[in-house]
Amino acid sequence: MSQTLTIARPYARAAFAIAREHGRLAQWSDQLGFAARAVAEPSVHAVLGDPRLDAQSLVDVLLPPGDVDPVFREFISVLAEGRRLEALPEISGLFDAQRADDEHVVKALITSANPLEADEVAKLRDALRKRFGREVEVSTAVDASLIGGAVIDAGDVVIDGSLRTKLARLGAALAN
């Protein structure tokens, strides 16, 4: 994984610079996301290393339907020719992180034991906005194994307020 990140980092920086220069950050983010999901499909992933397939055939499989930015097509072609398509998920993730940083947005994933109500999500978003001093894009997930509470993953910050973790800490304290 770290080798893939090392490979992906310069490509993500280049993609970001090109997309920013052309004023198409959102479009490139969507197209990179599509290509990354396509690469992650087992049937597509299986053929990426097939030497019988030329780069252009691979490019056509990874592009979203509809109007595709010609510069984006060229970017994917460069990845295909260099046999770097497997790094697309990491490139997409790094691109989105750089975009969020550039747009002063923090992306937060709130995982709770039970589904959160809209007002609870709004309160958490406001609290995170105050903490980070930036806009916050919140996505939610449910994981019943947390028992209660929530875990907030916002970039480099993880706030674990789950009952599962509190019980694990209590168990460790009692064991000592």
Identity of the residue numbered 102: D
pLDDT of 60: 82
pLDDT of 1: 54
Q: What is the mean pLDDT of residues 152-176?
A: 91
**Per-residue pLDDT reduced to its tens digit, 143-159:** 999 999 999 999 789 99
CATH number belonging to the domain at 2-100, selected among 2.40.160.40, 3.30.1370.100, 1.10.520.20, 3.30.70.100: 1.10.520.20
The mean pLDDT of the chain is 91
Q: Which residue has the higher pLDDT, 22 or 44?
A: 22
pLDDT of 53: 81
**Per-residue pLDDT reduced to its tens digit, 27-63:** 999 999 999 999 999 888 888 777 788 888 888 888 8
> DSSP readout, 126-171?
HHHHHHHTSEEEEEEEE-GGG-SSEEEEETTEEEE--HHHHHHHHH
**Apex 124 CA angle, 120 and 128, nearest 5:** 170
DSSP-based three-state secondary structure for 33 = helix
- Asked if residue 83 has pLDDT above 90, the reply is no
Q: Which residue has the higher pLDDT, 1 or 124?
A: 124
% of the chain exceeding 90 in pLDDT = 72
Residue spans per domain, the chain? 2-100, 104-175
> From residue 60, how far is each of 55, 103, 170 by CA, in Å?
9, 31, 54
